[in-house]
Amino acid sequence: MTGNSKILMVVTNGHTMENGELAGIWLTEFSEAYLEFKKEGYEVVVARPKGGTSPVDPNSLTDDVTDEDKEAGKLLENTKSLADISSQEFAGMFVPGGHGTMFDFPDDTHLHRLLTEFAEDDKLIAAVCHGPAALVGGKLKNGEPIVKGKRITAFTDSEEKDTTLDKYMPFLLETKLRELGAEFIAKDNWSDHIEVDGKLLTGQNPQSTISLAKEFVRALNA
């Protein structure tokens, strides 16, 4: 570990979709990354737009979720508000996904502020699965989208259709990121796949979380 040892993890407020189901955070996208960061000695601060509890997507509580994952998930019960977060405290930002991010991240002004500050200060920004929904509203000081011209990945349109929740989403994430000028790289559905372009790191889906977290730590230590 070198220099600043604090990582900001930004999580969703959660949202009830039109079908009545909860769109929350995908537990292992948070827990697997959090556990990797703690193992490497980093201090982690968890925040969401509103602060308070970030609800876990019930569909993410599968049989392969460990007790360690569940223990880490308790941190989601008392998060800080993004309004109270200063980018100066942190070496990097890591954004887990879950469908909830599609509803609150694209329009959150405090998240936009932090993304601009992290990008302009050349700090690491990582996002996995639906986490790159945060990047939809993220801009540089000159007004250009943070993702413009960047090689990135995220939950693909094909994967979204696989979930059958595509019709409940406000937009399709891959399509939106392409519209913003990103060079979007999609691999086979549910494959472990990350992309690194400078200080912007992205992962395609839940299966990519550990790979992305390890690359994030490697980049922090570089």
193 annotated active-site? no
Pick the catalytic residue: 15, 99, 130, 193?
130
For 95: left if phi > 0, alpha if psi spans -120 to 50, otherwise beta; the answer is beta
Cβ–Cβ < 8 Å for 76, 30: yes
Q: 120-152: buried (b, 16+ CB within 10 Å) or exposed (e) per residue?
A: eeebbbbbbbbbbbbbbbbbeeeeebbbeebeb
Pick the catalytic residue: 160, 174, 195, 215?
160
Neighbours of 214 (CB within 10 A): 14
Alpha-carbon distance of 97 to 108, in angstroms, equals 15
144 annotated active-site? no
99 annotated active-site? no
Cβ–Cβ < 8 Å for 100, 57: yes
Pick the catalytic residue: 29, 36, 129, 215?
129
Residue 206 corresponds to which amino acid?
P
Active-site positions read 129-130, 160
